Structure 1
Amino acid sequence: MVKKENNNVFIISLIVVFAIVLWGLILPENFESTATALFNYLVGNFGWFYLVSMFSFVGFSIWIAFSKYGKIKLGPDDSKPEYSFISWFAMLFSAGMGIGLVFWGIAEPLNHFIAPLGMEGGTAAAASFAMKKSFFHWGLHPWANYCVLALALAYMQFRKGKPGLISSIFIPLIGEERAAGPIGKFIDILAVFATVAGVATSLGLGTLQINSGLNYMFGIPESSTAQIIIVAVVTVLFIISATTGLDKGIKFLSNVNVSLAGVLLVLTLLVGPTLLIINSFTEGIGMYLGEFIRDSFHIEAFGNGEWFGWWTIFYWAWWIAWAPFVGTFISRISKGRTIKEFVAGVLLAPTIASFIWFAVFGSAGINLGTDIAAEAIKSTPTAFFVVMSNYPLGGFISIVAVILLCTFFVTSADSATFVLGMMTKNGDLNPDNKRKVTWGIIQSLLALTLMLAGGAGGLGMLQTASIAAAFPFAFVMIFGMVSLVMALRKDYSKLSSKDEA
């Protein structure tokens, strides 16, 4: 009976993914106009909802860490963490941000520097604005978004022994039977689509950036042939990593990621404007904390909110679209940690790492002035390489960056492959290799097909569709917070009774 149910979720998910891809390939204009219209409607009419929801995730995460529930473990009371803090951080960071940091680490601050909101571009004020907004978009909000879903899921998985499925977080709220019924299956299938679409988009954009970097540094042409080779090589690598399991492939490559990222940061800090970077980091944190509440709710109600639609609201919607994948993966690797330890690790450590990253690379870009900044942002995939070519050891740093892109590429894909295996096998914590390989190939073919059909535009269509389709996950996470508190109250009362006895 269970097997049949598993196959149904797997088959329906495949049908949904292929149907949407075929729609995009056969009727690209219709697909794009429909997805764009839906996305614009959501951003235009529910921008306030995205802002309020994301802030609620931050508030909830901080509250629950310091609440009376903070000492409750994600697992039996005597359970211990499966991974060291370094390996745990490396895996969650690689899955949660990964390739996006290399892609946007220089490009986003330079975009804000050249075209800031409500001020003249290229000025000192524009530079400060650029760093503050980059910190804001990659700070506590996205990680709180992951934290809420991952915490509820890890609690239900390891404390209550329920399947590792998004639908499991609703069990305290609606009961196990309903959560396993049509509503739960719909949520799980939607989670599969959001994961496949989101990761395929990132894989495609990562391929374009690797190809652009190789072209910029070595003259390798930006062509379909080169992109097919890149995707083929990376696909083989991430399938090998995924099939060797968490403890070997994914853990090893995640540790490599953090090491390479550290090398990249230190080299750029040394050859770049070191004092400016330190000052920018210091000022950026001050501005971030000082205007945190205002920025969390700022939407230009009486002005032109288009900037927020393209940046803040777009990011919030994109992070929510990634929550099913990243939340499921983070929950899978977090058994044995207390709620307080979990929140501190998921919320604070990656946020600080992101701040350091943007301070180093954003400052390095802004330091070169408006002419180079304007040149760099003409093409987001090559922005990093354009800036680095103006610094000593820039060629070497760019080579390290391409290697890091490849390893981030692999870890994002193998983490997603692992999660998709879990999602389509009733939350099995160790899905079989056949299922992981199937999803790995599907992700790569999806990214490659859309890339060859429409380049970044084709991937953009999928990204827009996935963000629009993931809108319901904001409600999933809101109800997930309610459901988690309901379960924790019961758990805490039992623990209190044991202590009194």
Structure 2
Amino acid sequence: MQEAVPPASDGDHLDPRVFIPAVLVILAFIGPVILFPEASTALINAAFAFATGKFGWLYLVAGLSVVGFLIWLAFSRYGNVRLGGAEDTPDFSYFSWVAMIFTCGMGIAIVNWAWVEPIYYYTSPAYHVAAKSREAAEWALAFGQFHWGLTPWAFYCLPGLPIAYSMYVKKRDGVRLSVASRGVLGRHADGAWGVLLDSIVVFGIVGGVGTSLGLAVPLVSQLVSGILGVEANFGLEVAVLCIWTAMFSASVWFGLAKGIKILSDINVILAIFLLAFTFIVGDSQFMVEGFVNSLGKTLGNFIPMSLWTDPAGDSTFWKDWTVFYWAWWIAYAPMVGLFVARISRGRTIRELIIAELVFGSLGTWVFFAVWGGYALDLQISGALDIKALLDSGGIPLAVEGILQTLPYAKLVTVAFILLCFIFLATTLDSSAYVLASVTSRKLSGYQEPKRSFRLIWAFLIAAVGVALIQLGGLQTVQTSTIVVALPMIPVMLILALSMLRWLKNDFPKEELNPVLVIDDMPAFQRKSKKAKRQA
């Protein structure tokens, strides 16, 4: 569907108030990491330990609260509110829309962790369960579903709602969290507080991309070195990153409909093919029964799992895994929320919540049921000691070992490498697109950011990646991004309150209409458009 093209506006120009502080913050952080890596790492690790150690409970409470709030909102009368006017219709098919949401939200991380995360839980389980026991195996798949299911997608969904409402219902210019917070911040959203908020968001996005690069580049380099028989060194990692840069730069250049959408569609189709192949050649019965059993354990224990802090015990499982993941998802949430808001014009609030909480969760659960179930079966049966591979060579070596157990291993590995390329490219092009939108001046929801801005951010992301890969600073950036998640918790609260205030003011009366819209179009224009449709 072709998007409406608005007249040129300030959205065509870079906003130095956000761009310059954001870039300075990034350089101010990257510089010390490069010049003083050991001291920077120690400082950031201390900040991370403080954030997760002292406020770990806050991350847990925030996660359960967001899930509860979104479920209430979806089933309330506000769920019928359309994110747009009476004439606004969705820009993308439902499949393409969900595909873009999923690939932006999970990206390369699911490709890494779905294989190996259950192995960690099986060998170092929660709840003081005996390692490598039957009960540990059951909880291994359940915690995979829990850490990648409802709560992560709720964190992603929450920012997208007020941003989309601000753009398509309130018709406010500016694809930013500061604009979406106007319902609470008022005029302060346009001042220093708004600039600070948007600059932190930009830093968080760049840090999140650093996390993705830290996961993806070593994995793909390891797989490529095995296929080509060459050494996995810095030169190979830079070559891999250059290919990624070319892919996502081309995608972001062509924009949403011709670039990101097509790449996301291909991504989902290829993932379905590889999942189906693994399901057919592996122990399908074990995967299905493991999925059903873990789904029951996850849903039946969702609240206890969400709030478990082991106050009387000495387990660090909840901090090492649940708090870490909740912080990770919160750090990524502004980027995903901004992107999802941009592609959700014409959808209702209920549609958006269902797309993320239901279909997003189902997507990740399938990955863990098939790839996680396949790997866990290898570990339990003794066919492959994945834990030993993880201890000796980390995730890249473990994933390579698992792929080697599949029929047509080389062909499957090539297909998997391609999937990794496309998965990360969809995350990177979404990130560059959002960064260009945030740093554009008064960009409306009906405009795309200028191509030159998109490419600037694409190349900045690549440059940061090369510098950090060379100096081994990716882990430090990842950890710092998690620290940024702590002040984002009150920001999430502001966004929720802003959304509620707008909804109560705009829809004060109980209405039974299946779709609620604010139609501020003059009556003669409505009649004219209706006559044209009838003609």
TM (normalized to structure 1)? 0.96
Name the residue aligned to 1:321. Answer: 331
Counterpart amino acid of residue 342 in structure 1: L
SS across alignment from 2:161: helix
Name the residue aligned to 1:53. Answer: 62
SS across alignment from 1:406: helix
Matches of residues 230-379 of structure 1 in structure 2 within 5 Å? Answer: 230-369=240-379, 372-378=385-391, 379=394
Residue pair 2:263, 2:426 contacting (<8 A) in 1 also: yes
Name the residue aligned to 1:405. Answer: 420
Counterpart amino acid of residue 50 in structure 2: Y
Matches of residues 164-175 of structure 1 in structure 2 within 5 Å? Answer: 164-175=175-186
The whole-number CA distance in structure 2 between the counterparts of 1:244 and 1:382 is 35
The whole-number CA distance in structure 2 between the counterparts of 1:219 and 1:427 is 51
Counterpart amino acid of residue 411 in structure 1: T
What are the ranges of 5 or more consecutive residues in structure 2 without an aligned counterpart?
A: 1-8, 517-535
The whole-number CA distance in structure 2 between the counterparts of 1:331 and 1:342 is 9
- Deviation digits for residues 382-441 of structure 1 (CA, Å, limit 9, x no counterpart): 322211212323332222111100001111111100000001113524111111111111
Counterpart amino acid of residue 10 in structure 1: F
Deviation at 1:497, TM superposition (A): 12
Name the residue aligned to 1:388. Answer: 403
- Deviation digits for residues 294-322 of structure 1 (CA, Å, limit 9, x no counterpart): 10101111112422211110000000000
Residue pair 2:109, 2:215 contacting (<8 A) in 1 also: no
Answer yes or no: is 1:66 the counterpart of 2:79.
Answer: no
Residue pair 1:190, 1:470 contacting (<8 A) in 2 also: no
Residue pair 1:268, 1:397 contacting (<8 A) in 2 also: no
Name the residue aligned to 2:530. Answer: none
The whole-number CA distance in structure 1 between the counterparts of 2:47 and 2:123 is 30
Counterpart amino acid of residue 397 in structure 2: T
Counterpart amino acid of residue 462 in structure 2: S
Deviation at 1:165, TM superposition (A): 0.5
The whole-number CA distance in structure 1 between the counterparts of 2:198 and 2:185 is 16
Q: Which is further off, 183-192 or 118-127? A: 118-127
The number of aligned residues is 495
Name the residue aligned to 1:444. Answer: 462
SS across alignment from 1:336: coil
SS across alignment from 1:489: helix
Answer yes or no: is 1:466 the counterpart of 2:481.
Answer: yes
Deviation at 1:494, TM superposition (A): 6.8
The whole-number CA distance in structure 1 between the counterparts of 2:240 and 2:346 is 38
TM (normalized to structure 2)? 0.90
SS across alignment from 2:218: helix
The whole-number CA distance in structure 1 between the counterparts of 2:395 and 2:442 is 37
Deviation at 1:2, TM superposition (A): 6.2
Q: Which is further off, 91-100 or 1-10? A: 1-10
The whole-number CA distance in structure 2 between the counterparts of 1:197 and 1:12 is 16
Residue pair 1:149, 1:324 contacting (<8 A) in 2 also: yes
SS across alignment from 1:368: helix
Residue pair 2:18, 2:195 contacting (<8 A) in 1 also: yes
Name the residue aligned to 1:142. Answer: 152
Name the residue aligned to 1:189. Answer: 199
- Deviation digits for residues 433-465 of structure 1 (CA, Å, limit 9, x no counterpart): 1111111111111112111112xxx21100111
Residue pair 1:110, 1:377 contacting (<8 A) in 2 also: no
Counterpart amino acid of residue 37 in structure 1: A
The whole-number CA distance in structure 2 between the counterparts of 1:427 and 1:131 is 45
Name the residue aligned to 1:481. Answer: 496
Question: Paired residue for 1:419, among 434, 438, 461?
Answer: 434
Counterpart amino acid of residue 426 in structure 2: T
Quote the sequence identity (%): 33
Residue pair 1:204, 1:448 contacting (<8 A) in 2 also: no
The whole-number CA distance in structure 1 between the counterparts of 2:326 and 2:512 is 41
Deviation at 1:215, TM superposition (A): 2.2
- Deviation digits for residues 253-301 of structure 1 (CA, Å, limit 9, x no counterpart): 0000000100011000001111101101111111111101110101111
The whole-number CA distance in structure 2 between the counterparts of 1:460 and 1:308 is 21
Residue pair 1:201, 1:447 contacting (<8 A) in 2 also: no
What are the ranges of 5 or more consecutive residues in structure 1 without an aligned counterpart?
A: none
Larger Rg: 2
Name the residue aligned to 2:33. Answer: 24
Question: Paired residue for 1:98, among 102, 107, 121?
Answer: 107
The whole-number CA distance in structure 2 between the counterparts of 1:5 and 1:260 is 37
Name the residue aligned to 1:430. Answer: 448
Counterpart amino acid of residue 30 in structure 1: A
Question: Paired residue for 1:10, among 16, 19, 24?
Answer: 19
Name the residue aligned to 2:143. Answer: 133
Q: Which is further off, 107-116 or 251-260? A: 107-116
SS across alignment from 1:70: helix
Counterpart amino acid of residue 66 in structure 1: F
The whole-number CA distance in structure 2 between the counterparts of 1:349 and 1:69 is 21
Residue pair 1:110, 1:373 contacting (<8 A) in 2 also: yes
Q: Which is further off, 50-59 or 303-312? A: 303-312
The whole-number CA distance in structure 2 between the counterparts of 1:300 and 1:171 is 39
Deviation at 1:153, TM superposition (A): 0.8
The whole-number CA distance in structure 2 between the counterparts of 1:80 and 1:482 is 27
